[in-house]
Amino acid sequence: MIAYPAMLDVPRELVRYVGRLLYDERCRRRTPKGSRRLTCFHQALFALAWFRTKPNIRLHGIAFGLSQATAYRYLHEAINVLANQAPDLHNALDRAVRDSVSHLVLDGKIFDTDRCRLKTTSVKGQTIDAWYSGKTSDFGGNIQALCEPDGFPIWTSEVEPGGVVDIEAARRHVLPAVYPYTKAMPVLADPGYQGAGHGVHVPFKQPADGNVLSVGNRTHNALQRALRSLGERGFALLTERWTALQHTTLSPSRLGDLVRAALVLVHFEYRRIS
């Protein structure tokens, strides 16, 4: 084997922040001093390098002197401590109100995963792959997110199998908590959220009988689309910076924690937390 130097383009302050979280977790578990292969700082460095570049976990572990099993364990520990720092939905909404946010953007994304054998029954009574998404024609997990008007993500949901459509995922994880806030802070969403309810603004549907929308409705759609499109930035901030989210080989059930961990990293780099 040939060793070579590499650079990780994350600030040292971020490594220290994750290291402090890991240190607190070791103290909570009463981990004996000197019993770990890596210090908290180097475990944080190991995890951030994986989030940033998603190297092969076995080879990445070897670079840090870890077995494959230990590498996975250290990675999951880092994901857990980061995900635990993510704001819950009510806290995120309360902060948005305090910051006088004019509106929020609700969006969903299918995060690419390896194939999962879990089956479910479709609305037609057929047995199908639960994690297969017709939206992307691939396997993945559905994550919902709320973003500020400029597209900055403030909250992400638990994962649902890719076969669950956006409106159903939103009803399970977002809408019940959002409704009380929509009078002062309306929510914009794409056509996939038709029927979301009061305070959630979606485009008018094109008539199915061959007619066309009125000028007023077309203008509403254009304005709504212009404002809503900025919400696309939210998932881009997560997946382009932390490329491990672009395709995960971890258990799909971990996607919710993985995305929340990346959300905390984004919030730290944008000085939303310290």
119, pLDDT greater than 80: no
Give the tokens for residue 66.
Answer: 């870890």
pTM of the model: 0.91
Output the pLDDT for position 126.
67
Domain boundaries defined on the chain: 12-83, 89-269
187-188 vs 200-201, strand pairing mode: parallel
Distance CA 108, CA 140 (A): 12
Three-class DSSP category at 12: helix
Q: Do residues 153 and 113 make contact, with C-beta atoms less than 8 angstroms apart? A: no
* pLDDT tens figures, 238-262: 999 999 999 988 888 899 999 999 9
List C-alpha distances in Å: 167 to 2, 161, 189, 203. 51, 13, 10, 14
List C-alpha distances in Å: 264 to 35, 248, 250, 258, 271. 28, 18, 19, 10, 10
Three-class DSSP category at 158: coil
* pLDDT tens figures, 57-96: 999 999 999 999 999 999 999 999 999 999 999 999 999 9
Q: Which residues of 182-215 are buried (b: 16+ CB within 10 A; e: fewer)?
A: beebebbbbebbeebeebbbbbeeeeeeeeeeee
8, pLDDT greater than 80: yes
Q: Which among 7-11, 18-22, 51-55, 191-195 has the top mean pLDDT? A: 18-22
131, pLDDT greater than 90: no
